[in-house]
Structure 1
Amino acid sequence: MSVPLAERIRPKTLDDIVGQTHLLGENKPLRRIIESGKIPNMIFYGPSGVGKTTVARMIANNANMTMHKLNGTSASIADIKQIVAETETLSGINGILLYLDEIQYLNKKQQQSLLEYIENGKITLIASTTENPYFYVYNAIISRSTVFEFKPLTSEEILPAIKRAFQLMADELGLKLRLENGVLEHIARGCGGDVRKSINTVELCILSADNDGEKLTVNLDNVKLLTQRSNMRYDRAGDEHYDILSALQKSIRGSDENAALHYAARLMEAGDIISLCRRLLVIASEDIGLAYPMAAVVTKSCVDSALQLGLPEARIPLAEAVVLLATAPKSNSAESAIDAALADVRNGDFGDYPRHLQNKHFDGEGAKVKGQHYLYPHDYPNHWVKQQYLPDKLVGRTYYQYGENKTEQMAKAYWEKIKK
């Protein structure tokens, strides 16, 4: 069985690794740990294809440790115990390094089974995950490990790996190589920061290249067909999903319509207009609110249109909603008000309804005042009359603070005039 190009070209030294200079550059923390030869338990967190497995292998080689690899999707407690048993054999003389890929797929009991062995030093654990470890990894393992975050690579950082991959395949085939202008850059841009995907694309390009027996010609049109869709890091149930939605809302809240359109476009390109629609509806009330109440109405109309149209036409009303919300005046006064009221209710800070607000009342023998005595505001000038509405315990409590925008200030001025 032939070995994939991504495996054949895997870096052998730290200097061969592209990207991750914040961890592996000169005098950076992870590089110092690797060079020391004393390896702690670690968790590598980051997207696929950015070097987590490669670095784990280099750590094992540099420390002269025996490395075993398990995947969280298929590993069992028996698999872990079998590896631990090797610590008593010759292969475990210099230590056993367990590389556990996708640890987030292990259940709590399986993760707990590791604790005894990493505490007594029988194994050194390097776990990797594409999800936030603070959400998906058992706290006891987190507390016994150092977390290192691997970043997605820029297209400039990926270029050297792509060049090496093309040259290696050409050398293996014993042929000269001709690349049309833009081939390298297109692959680097189209693979979304994933080195493995870019290398796999190189292999496809070589296999489908024009071959005259002496020279391989890779043309740009063919490359575009092989990289039709950018490998956007997106998972509808994972961190990327919530990160993009968070970035969208914060961009709208910050009134940056261009950034908001960018994140909306990423959701559309992933085909996830449902999440986009839901978040826009929330933003209309949470971040624009009473500064422009019609924003909620317009956004609902745009969302309804988008869901009826479907992509690609849905992009138009959704873009309208994004731009409207980003450029609208902002107010979170309603959200702050209800959160303050909910805090009182949840803390048990409330009392009985005022007697005159009750739907029905009964005048018992102990009632000091007979009758309900509710004042009907519509019977009074300007449809307002002073009376108590809050429970006795909360009289004077203020939840809502008028925002500084024109709409809320007009309402404030109106009621200050009436209530005086």
Structure 2
Amino acid sequence: MSDGLFEMPAGPRRDSGGSLAGNPTSSAPLAVRMRPQTIDELVGQQHLLAPGSPLRQVIEGDQPLTILLWGPPGTGKTTLASLISNHTDRRFVEVSAVSAGVKEVREVIAGARQALANSGRETVLFVDEVHRFSKAQQDALLPGVENRWVSLVAATTENPHFSVISPLLSRSLLLTLESLTDDDIATLLDRAVGDERGLGGTVSVTEEARDHLVRLSGGDARRALTYLEAAAGAAQAQGKTEIDVEAAALAVDKAAVRYDRQGDQHYDVASALIKSVRGSDVDAALHYLARMAEAGEDPRFIARRLMISASEDIGMADPTALPTVVAAAQAVAMIGWPESRIILAQAVIHLALAPKSNAVVVAIGAAQADVTAGKAGAVPPALRDAHYSGAKKLGHGHDYRYAHDDPRGVVGQQYAPDEVDGTEYYAPSRHGFEGSLRERLAKLRAILRDR
């Protein structure tokens, strides 16, 4: 078959090296060898595997369905595809979203249609990382899905509402996989240590080392098993038969960050950062900033979000907030990681601890709503441009009162169009500096309306 595609026979799935997944003598990675061969071996995702559930129907081969599996890395998407392969008599074809093109996708659909017509044999098509498919490639899947020539199982780590075309999404059952819990990861590690497919009891793991590996895995089963395999190698290289914290730390010196710069967590963590700032929880805000820093997020992206927050969530309650973040944005544009973390941390601390007010965003929103509703009348004649020849004959600038001529620095006259004259958009809060503006604003409005 063409590059990017391969068909798997019914029965035990073969990995890309040709060795049977789960073979204890295999040289395949530990994560591949320990891939569950039955539903009962699956750890986590029990909410998707209840008797009669759509996913179980696909695995048990009862009926063709189109399923989108959405979840973080290492939560079992590929494993579920493997279970379908192991527990069905249907043809199982996997398409690589990295290397397959429209031509290859159409070949699979045509082959599935022919197999169904000639022998009545159905085809399960597995597409991993379907979000990497272009619109044209996803469109090519639609005939097979609509006519039930294939049972499509597509996996993605990105929000399918943004990364999968609407026609395909509407024809699919979306199933959300959850990150594995610490208990789930611990169960997998214990099983891999003793199982003949895994380490076969050749080493043991101290409770402290296991907890360390669980913590570093970030809820990713594949990563946890990879770390365990590395730790076992480190222990054996030291002549040990027990994995202790020292061996685990030697193999893995840095925790995995649950953050994908190209996926949902890019936006989820950024959202959590801003909401923590808005909620004045400086410690939570610093936590999310640290996650973004550790994942290598673009510091300019973080600075842009903070600049918005400085006006949206703080505004005139602390007029120094916006200049502080603008200065931080200029600094990180010149510096980058890792030093930018210090500058951004200062900005985050300033914003989180500042008094909060959304009066600015509420004010501009209300003004825009009036404009959108058609309340955009003529500019009062006194305010119109009177500098060009003939302007005064039109009455432009007539009766305009110059504010600086009044000792108060403000005079009563009409500035707004008739349609919104007297409308109050800005309502200062009582927080921070903005609280001192309330009395001043009341006096200004009184003078302006005394005409």
Both proteins in one fold, TM over 0.5: yes
- Tell me what 2:228 maps to: 202
Shift of the 399–92 alpha-carbon distance from structure 1 to 2, 3 Å rule, reads: farther
**Uncovered stretches (5+) of structure 2, i.e. residues with no partner:** 1-16, 18-26, 447-451
Name the aligned partner's letter for residue 48 of structure 2: L
Q: Which moved more, 1:152-161 or 1:299-308?
A: 299-308
State whether structure 2 residue 91 is matched by structure 1 residue 49: no
Counterpart of 1:164 in structure 2 is 191
In structure 2, the CA distance between the partners of 1:29 and 1:403, relative to structure 1 (3 Å rule), is: farther
Q: What CA distance in whole angstroms lies between the structure 1 residues aligned with 2:438 and 2:201?
A: 79
Q: Secondary structure, in 3 states, of the residue corresponding to 1:89?
A: helix
* Matched residue, 2:127: 100
Contact 1:34 / 1:62 at 8 angstroms: preserved in 2? yes
Alignment of structure 1 residues 205-284 onto 2, 5 Å:
205-210=231-236, 216-272=241-297, 273-284=299-310
User: Could you tell me which of 143, 154, 159 is aligned with 1:127?
Assistant: 154
Q: Secondary structure at the match of 2:151?
A: strand
Query: CA separation in 1, counterparts of 2:427 and 2:305?
Result: 25
Which string of whole-angstrom CA distances, capped at 9 and with x for unpartnered residues, describes residues 337-395 of structure 1? 2233334455664234322222335657984x586321111112421111121234433
The Cα shift of 1:143 comes to 0.6
Shift of 1:41: 0.8
CA offsets 1:80-137 (integer angstroms, 9 cap, x no match): 2322224423796341111111111111122111111111111111111111100010
- Residue 210 of structure 1 aligns to a residue in which SS? helix
Q: 1:6–1:199: 8 Å Cα contact kept in structure 2? A: yes
Matches within 5 A, 1:77-88: 77-84=102-109, 85-88=111-114
Task: Name the stretch that deviates more: 64-73 or 216-225.
Answer: 216-225
Counterpart contact for 1:284–1:325, Cα < 8 Å: yes
Judge which range, 233-242 or 313-322, deviates more: 313-322
The reply on whether 1:22 has 2:52 as its aligned counterpart is no
Contact 1:337 1:401 in 2 (8 A): yes
**Helix, strand or coil: the match of 1:98?**
strand
Task: State the Cα RMSD in Å.
Answer: 3.0
User: Aligned pair in 2 of structure 1 residues 319, 333: CA closer, same or farther (>3 Å)?
Assistant: same
Q: What amino acid is the match of 1:168?
A: D
CA contact (8 A) 1:49 1:195 kept: yes
- TM-score w.r.t. the length of structure 2 is 0.82
Q: Matched residues, percent identical? A: 38
Task: Tell me: CA distance 1:413–1:92, structure 2 relative to 1, closer, same or farther (3 Å).
Answer: farther
Which one-letter code corresponds to 2:66 in the other structure?
N
Residues of 2 paired with 1:175 and 1:418: CA distance? Answer: 81
* Gap change, CA 1:290 and 1:365, over 3 Å in 2: closer
CA distance in structure 2 between the aligned counterparts of 1:44 and 1:235, rounded to whole angstroms:
17
Aligned to 2:314: 288
Residue 356 of structure 1 corresponds to which residue in structure 2? 382
Greater shift in the superposed pair: 132-141 or 325-334 = 325-334
The range that moved more, 266-275 or 88-97, is 88-97
Give the SS at the match of 2:368: helix
The CA distance in 2 between the partners of 1:305 and 1:364, in whole Å, is 47
Q: Is the 8 A contact 2:73 2:157 kept in 1?
A: yes
Is the Cα–Cα contact under 8 Å of residues 68 and 173 in structure 2 kept in the other structure? yes
Residue segments in structure 1 that go unaligned for 5+ positions in a row: none
Would the alpha carbon gap of residues 163 and 392 (structure 1) be closer, same or farther in structure 2, given more than 3 Å must change? same
The one of 320, 323, 331 equivalent to 1:297 is: 323
**SS at structure 1 position matched to 2:425:** coil
What secondary structure sits across from 2:124 in the alignment? strand
What amino acid does structure 1 have at the position aligned with 2:287? Answer: H
Cα offset, 1:419, TM superposition: 4.0
Matches of 2:441 and 2:126, distance apart in 1: 66
